[in-house]
Amino acid sequence: MRETDDGTVRRAQVFVDTREGAFAEAGDILLPIARGVMVETDVLGDLIGLFQGTDTGRTRDDDITMFKSVGTAIEDWAAAALAFETATRGTA
């Protein structure tokens, strides 16, 4: 399955939630690679690298950023942590 066309992928700085997941099941990544529109090294970063500061995110206001998520436990954890923090804020 795919949600993004080749032109967008070609122009965008591409980031993923996890490289392992993206290269295993993300049509928005796998199909452009198969068509020669991009190569694996065109994926500039993942969530872990962005959070740790080892990958650089957007650097200019006019950058087109594409983020592809296939779903990972880190996203579930972050949502649960935010929900817990919100629910318990001010209840001590």
Calpha distance 35→5 (Å, rounded)? 12
CATH number at residue 28: 3.40.50.720
pLDDT over threshold 70, residue 91: no
Who contacts 4 (Cβ-Cβ below 8 Å, separation ≥6)? 28, 66
Instruction: Say if 1 falls within a structural domain.
Output: no
Rounded mean pLDDT, 9-33:
95
Domain span at residue 59 reads 6-88
Tell me if the pTM is above 0.85. Answer: no
How far apart CA 4 and CA 68 sit, in angstroms, is 10
Does residue 13 lie in a domain region?
Answer: yes
In this predicted model, which residue has the larger pLDDT, 92 or 81?
81
68 occurs within a structural domain: yes
Does any domain span residue 26?
Answer: yes
